[in-house]
């Protein structure tokens, strides 16, 4: 179970980055995940450079294969970021979606 | 002047019958035997290990080692992810710089095969930042990001990376302690399954068990009595940001560059003087970046140069890289790697490298990296 | 006058066709489509839930108004697929939206009418002067057992409404609520999938409650079906809303734009409201809209809404947005719904 305190602390920062636009700076696609991410595999992870030059990591969702490259325009969205244990607190966080 | 007078490594691989401390004990016994030393002649011990706490709930390993050695001396454990072994060696050397006439034992050990791959992948990702972990980035994911960036910037493909693994597997076939003894081809690498795009199974070092140990001394009488000895000319540890996103450049490991410059300056030799090198090839891209960051190849040329196979044993090149098989073929029990690398250089410089012996090897370099470049250790030895 | 100031909706990108599901179970797709009048339904991704979708629809609702978020002192989250059995999603939502802490929040449940019931409570809180605004969300990642009719109909979606007393796009002229104890569709604590009473969900349930709620409101207001430009009813499948509209006296033309169920499925608490979203894309100032929800267990909320001239400045594209979709196959559907 992930510490509920850690989730709570983290969520304050998440709010500040929601709904922000940026471009993919680095990317990969994970095929062998660690515990907590198995259900999402394989999944792309990107490092996005936001319009204010801040860099944020997140999975890329609702994407087509062609979106996975440096430079693709994206926007940050709220999603579940890892599989919660059945009795644990749900971790919500930032992921990115290609901007159409 | 500090000298390395003995080295012993266990085999690396899936060593089901041996626990972490069984392996450490084997390495300790082996190196003491090789140097004809008794336990009580050891003045201090340095231990490199990353995962015993996270995976095995084993901390206070220093006290455990005291139980094995049955001595009461200072024992220290260092952790710097995959550079745990290298940093343990560095601290041992630093200890000898400030304490005369001492003999120091340095051990690196890791036990990884007791756990499921997911548990190990998760544990290894502790070397990454919290944000990287929360985004679902694994250790291979971080190097994969670096690989995609490098391949795109310098116009290379996955094929260029494959040459690293081909070379290291060939070297592994010459090393009886290596985890993998079979040779592979570029096609084999390209056909293997993706771990994190573009890195595939055969681009990636394995999950391994193993322990390696060396004895260092600054006691001149001791050095004279030993059959083999190499001088430790330099050992430099440099750290950089844990987050890949905070690094100045994505296509280099700055910590390696700085540590390398410092080490060569301290050793008073040139890059071209190095005959053998053990570089940190946790993933194929890492060896290419290392060759560039250490100053052997110009930045961006590594993808091309690796295909020329000049660093492969037997091709007549001036610099043979990863004669042990590297992390890829000899295996990567995380905490042990840094010591194994230094040990391999020792074997080469003292003529003990058997069928992979590089002729007239006079200067050697070991390069150990932690995480995606958060720590780098560069060690230079001379015969 | 209390009413709706702005609105937002979110439909996930993924769709599964009735054909795809029917083929797996060896049913004739044409028979299923004829019986349910559902071509395909919306499915949320594996990492989406009622909260993440509510965030999307609420952000959209708040994006086209410039208001001080501190004036939103009521946040109500209606769902039948709450992220937690105990722990308010309404405060998780409010926190992510930046609504700070002097507000009343609670999560509501009344099957598919959890959100519309909340509208009635919220407008009273505004009328009493407690708050200038209220944010209401209906959001569901609808679940249905495999090899059950709900598998074709239960869908994902979210609609959010910002209620207020000024600058309205829709006035709430009047409303009624009709309730009874009728166990037509339910889900026990700790059980993943809802159960239902088959044909019992028809005449004594859906039809009875909607008809009674609607007739009650018609009587109260003196209005008749022909006074309305549009009728929007809860849509458990493609047939029921058409039938109940007809029995009440609405023409097919009045309800055809609202039938989002045909191509999106039934997003439970967001179902009737999604029909409203489709209608608002077309509605004009002065139009009267009749909105009638149904929640199993059972009850029905009915509303008379009037479109103001402000709708034009806050109208949102619906049909075009819904067309941005990607089809998935049955195993992917099971994976997204975490059924495997």
Which residues on A lie below 8 Å from B244 (Cβ)? 26, 47
A65 interface with B at CB cutoff 8 Å:
no
Report the alpha-carbon distance of residue C78 to residue C54 in Å, rounded.
Answer: 10
**What average pLDDT does range B345-369 have in this prediction?**
97
- Find the range with the poorest average confidence among A87-91, B161-165, C52-56: A87-91
* CATH fold match for the domains B3-115+208-230 and B138-204+233-382: yes
Query: What are the tokens at C169?
Result: 């796009």
- Helix (H), strand (E), coil (C) string for chain C: CCEEEEEEEECCCEEEEHHHHHHHCCCCHHHHHHHHCCCEEEECCCCCCHHHHHHHHHHHHHHCCCCCHHHEEEEEEECCCCCCCCCCHHHHHHHHHCCCCCCEEEEECECECHHHHHHHHHHHHHHCCCCCEEEEEEEEECCCCCCCCHHHHECEEEEEEEEECCCCCEEEEEEEEEEEEECCEECCCCCCCCEECHHHHHHHHHHHHHHHHHHHHHHHHCCCHHHCCEEEECCCCCCHHHHHHHHHCCCHHHHHHHCCHHHHCECHHHHHHHHHHHHHCCCCCCCEEEEECCECEEEEEEEEEEECCCHHHHCCCCHHHHCCCEECCHHHHHHHCCCC
Q: Closest-CA residue in chain B for A49?
A: B245
Same-domain check for residues C145 and C198: no
Same-domain check for residues C43 and C186: no
Judged against a pLDDT cut of 90, whether residue A53 lies above it is answered with: yes
Chains touching chain A at 3 or more Cβ pairs under 8 angstroms?
Answer: B, C
Judged against a pLDDT cut of 90, whether residue A84 lies above it is answered with: no
C96 interface with A at CB cutoff 8 Å:
yes
Reported as a single tens digit per residue, the pLDDT across B53-62 is 999 999 999 9
Q: Which helix (H) or strand (E) holds B258?
A: helix B254-267
Reported as a single tens digit per residue, the pLDDT across B38-71 is 999 999 999 999 999 999 999 999 999 999 999 9
Topology of domain B138-204+233-382, CATH:
Peroxisomal Thiolase; Chain A, domain 1 (3.40.47)
Q: What is the pLDDT of residue B284?
A: 98
Residue that has been written with the tokens 């690989």 in this structure: B147
Reported as a single tens digit per residue, the pLDDT across B275-330 is 999 999 999 999 999 999 999 999 999 999 999 999 999 999 999 999 999 999 99
Beta strands A43-50 and A55-60 are: antiparallel
Q: What is the pLDDT of residue B100?
A: 95
Q: Chain A interface, mutation test: which of C44, C47, C328, most A Cβ atoms within 10 Å?
A: C47
Which residues on A lie below 8 Å from C83 (Cβ)? 90
Contact A47 B245 (CB under 8 A): yes
In this complex, the residue of A29, A55, A93 whose CB is nearest that of residue B197 is A29
**Sign of CA pseudo-dihedral A19, A24, A29, A32:** negative
Judged against a pLDDT cut of 90, whether residue C159 lies above it is answered with: yes
Report the alpha-carbon distance of residue C307 to residue B245 in Å, rounded.
Answer: 50
Distance from CA of B198 to the nearest CA of A (A): 7
C87: Cβ contacts below 8 Å, ≥ 6 apart? none
Boundaries of domain holding C240: 174-312
Percent of the residues in chain B that have a pLDDT greater than 90, as a whole number = 100
Judged against a pLDDT cut of 80, whether residue B189 lies above it is answered with: yes
B135 interface with A at CB cutoff 8 Å:
yes
Q: Is residue B22 packed enough to be buried (19+ CB in 10 Å), middle (13-18) or exposed (0-12)?
A: middle
Same-domain check for residues C20 and C155: yes
A22 interface with B at CB cutoff 8 Å:
no
In this complex, the residue of B117, B121, B148 whose CB is nearest that of residue A28 is B148
DSSP tag of A79? E
Contact A92 C98 (CB under 8 A): no
CATH number of A4-98: 2.40.50
Same-domain check for residues C191 and C301: yes
Question: Angle, to 10 degrees, between the axis of helix B139-154 and the axis of helix B284-293?
Answer: 60
* Touch A-C: 3+ C-beta pairs under 8 A: yes
Q: Where do the domains of chain A lie?
A: 4-98
Reported as a single tens digit per residue, the pLDDT across C202-232 is 999 999 999 999 999 999 999 999 999 999 9
Report the alpha-carbon distance of residue B342 to residue B83 in Å, rounded.
Answer: 12
Judged against a pLDDT cut of 90, whether residue B242 lies above it is answered with: yes
Contact A47 B140 (CB under 8 A): no
Q: How confident is the model at residue B1 (pLDDT cuts 50, 70, 90)?
A: confident
Q: Which of C80, C176, C196, C209 is catalytic?
A: C80
- Find the range with the poorest average confidence among A19-23, C189-193, C292-296: C189-193
A39 interface with C at CB cutoff 8 Å:
yes
Distance from CA of A58 to the nearest CA of B (A): 5
Distance from CA of A85 to the nearest CA of B (A): 15
Residue that has been written with the tokens 């994190």 in this structure: B196
Judged against a pLDDT cut of 80, whether residue C302 lies above it is answered with: yes
| Domain B3-115+208-230 classification at class level | alpha beta
Same-domain check for residues C306 and C194: yes
Q: Where do the domains of chain B lie?
A: 3-115+208-230, 138-204+233-382
Q: Closest-CA residue in chain A for C89?
A: A90
Q: How confident is the model at residue C131 (pLDDT cuts 50, 70, 90)?
A: very high
How many domains does one find in chain C?
2
- CATH at C159: 3.40.47.10
CA angle at residue C125 from C101 to A12, to 5 degrees? 20
B141 interface with A at CB cutoff 8 Å:
yes
Q: What is the pLDDT of residue C20?
A: 97
Q: Closest-CA residue in chain B for A7?
A: B134
Reported as a single tens digit per residue, the pLDDT across B3-35 is 999 999 999 999 999 999 999 999 999 999 999
Chains touching chain B at 3 or more Cβ pairs under 8 angstroms?
Answer: A
Judged against a pLDDT cut of 90, whether residue A82 lies above it is answered with: no
In this complex, the residue of A62, A81, A92 whose CB is nearest that of residue C51 is A92
Report the alpha-carbon distance of residue B155 to residue C267 in Å, rounded.
Answer: 48
Report the alpha-carbon distance of residue C244 to residue C205 in Å, rounded.
Answer: 12
The catalytic residues of B are 82, 332
Same-domain check for residues C182 and C321: no
Which residues on B lie below 8 Å from A55 (Cβ)? 245-246
Across the strands, what pairs with C195? Answer: C186
Window C:68-87, CB contacts with A under 8 Å: 83-84
**What average pLDDT does range C21-30 have in this prediction?**
96
Q: Which of C40, C48, C82, C112 is catalytic?
A: C112
Which residues on B lie below 8 Å from A80 (Cβ)? none
Window B:162-221, CB contacts with A under 8 Å: 193-198
Residue that has been written with the tokens 């004669």 in this structure: B323
């Amino acid at each position: 179970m992930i510490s509920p305190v850690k989730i709570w602390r983290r969520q304050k920062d998440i709010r500040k980055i929601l709904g922000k636009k940026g471009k993919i700076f680095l990317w990969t696609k994970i095929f062998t995940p660690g515990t907590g991410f198995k259900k999402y595999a394989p999944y792309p992870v990107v490092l996005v450079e936001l319009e204010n030059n801040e860099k944020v990591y997140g999975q890329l969702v609702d994407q087509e294969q062609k979106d996975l490259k440096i430079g693709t325009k994206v926007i940050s969205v709220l999603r579940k970021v890892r599989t919660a244990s059945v009795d644990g607190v749900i971790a919500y966080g930032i992921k990115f979606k290609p901007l159409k | 002047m500090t000298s390395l007078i003995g080295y012993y490594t266990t085999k690396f691989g899936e060593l089901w019958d041996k626990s972490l401390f069984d392996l450490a004990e084997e390495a300790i016994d082996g190196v003491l035997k090789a140097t004809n030393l008794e336990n009580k002649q050891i003045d201090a011990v340095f231990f490199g290990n990353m995962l015993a706490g996270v995976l095995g709930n084993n901390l206070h390993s220093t006290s455990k080692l005291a139980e094995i050695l049955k001595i009461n001396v200072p024992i220290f454990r260092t952790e710097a992810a995959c550079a745990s072994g290298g940093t343990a060696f560095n601290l041992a050397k630093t200890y000898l710089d400030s304490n005369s006439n001492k003999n120091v034992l340095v051990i690196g050990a890791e036990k990884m095969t007791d756990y499921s791959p997911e548990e190990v992948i998760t544990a290894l990702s502790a070397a990454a930042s919290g944000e990287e972990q929360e985004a679902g980035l694994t250790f291979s994911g971080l190097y994969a990001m670096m690989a995609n960036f490098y391949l795109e910037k310098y116009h290379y493909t996955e094929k260029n990376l494959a040459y690293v693994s081909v070379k290291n597997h060939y070297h592994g076939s010459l090393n009886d302690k290596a985890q993998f003894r079979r040779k592979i081809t570029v096609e084999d690498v390209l056909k293997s399954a993706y771990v994190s795009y573009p890195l595939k199974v055969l681009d990636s070092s394995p999950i391994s068990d193993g322990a390696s140990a060396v004895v260092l001394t600054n006691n001149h009488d001791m050095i004279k009595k030993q059959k083999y000895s190499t001088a430790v000319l330099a050992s430099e540890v440099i750290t950089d940001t844990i987050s890949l996103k905070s690094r100045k450049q994505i296509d280099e490991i700055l910590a390696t560059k700085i540590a390398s410059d410092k080490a060569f300056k301290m050793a008073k030799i040139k890059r071209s003087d190095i005959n053998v090198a053990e570089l940190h090839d946790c993933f194929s891209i890492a060896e290419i970046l290392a060759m560039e960051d250490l100053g052997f190849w110009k930045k961006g040329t590594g993808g091309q140069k690796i295909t020329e196979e000049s660093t492969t044993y037997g091709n007549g090149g001036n610099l043979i890289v990863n004669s042990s098989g590297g992390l890829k073929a000899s295996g990567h029990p995380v905490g042990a790697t840094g010591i194994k690398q230094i040990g391999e250089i020792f074997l080469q410089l003292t003529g003990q490298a058997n069928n992979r012996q590089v002729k007239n090897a006079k200067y050697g370099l070991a390069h150990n990296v932690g995480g995606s470049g958060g720590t780098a250790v560069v060690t230079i030895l001379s015969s | 006058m209390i009413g709706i100031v702005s609105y937002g909706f979110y439909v996930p990108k993924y769709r599964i066709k009735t054909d795809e599901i029917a083929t797996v179970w060896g049913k004739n797709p044409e028979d299923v489509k004829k019986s349910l009048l559902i071509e395909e339904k919306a499915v949320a991704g594996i990492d989406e839930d009622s909260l993440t979708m509510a965030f999307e629809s609420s952000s959209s609702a708040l994006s086209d108004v410039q208001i001080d978020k501190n004036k939103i002192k009521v946040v109500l989250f209606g769902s039948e697929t709450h992220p937690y059995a105990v722990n308010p999603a309404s405060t998780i939502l409010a926190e992510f939206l930046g609504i700070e802490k002097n507000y009343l929040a609670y999560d509501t449940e009344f099957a598919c009418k959890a959100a519309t019931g909340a509208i009635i409570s919220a407008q009273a809180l505004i009328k009493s002067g407690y708050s200038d605004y209220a944010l209401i969300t209906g959001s569901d990642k609808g679940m249905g057992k495999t090899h059950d009719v709900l598998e074709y109909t239960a869908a994902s979606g979210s609609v959010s409404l910002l209620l207020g007393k000024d600058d309205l796009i829709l006035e709430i002229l009047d409303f009624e609520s009709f309730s009874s104890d009728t166990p037509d569709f339910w889900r026990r604590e700790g059980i993943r999938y809802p159960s239902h009473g088959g044909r019992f969900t028809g005449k004594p349930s859906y039809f009875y409650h909607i008809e009674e709620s609607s007739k009650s409101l018609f009587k109260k207001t003196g209005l008749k079906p022909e006074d309305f430009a549009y009728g929007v009813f809860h849509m458990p499948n493609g047939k029921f809303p058409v039938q109940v509209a007809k029995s009440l006296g609405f023409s097919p033309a009045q309800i055809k734009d609202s039938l989002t169920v045909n191509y999106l499925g039934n997003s439970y608490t967001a179902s009737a409201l999604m029909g409203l979203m489709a209608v608002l894309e077309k509605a004009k100032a002065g139009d009267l809209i009749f909105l009638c929800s149904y929640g199993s267990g059972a009850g029905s909320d009915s509303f008379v809404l009037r479109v103001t001239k402000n709708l034009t400045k806050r109208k949102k594209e619906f049909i075009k947005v819904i067309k941005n979709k990607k089809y998935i196959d049955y195993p992917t559907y099971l994976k997204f719904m975490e059924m495997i």
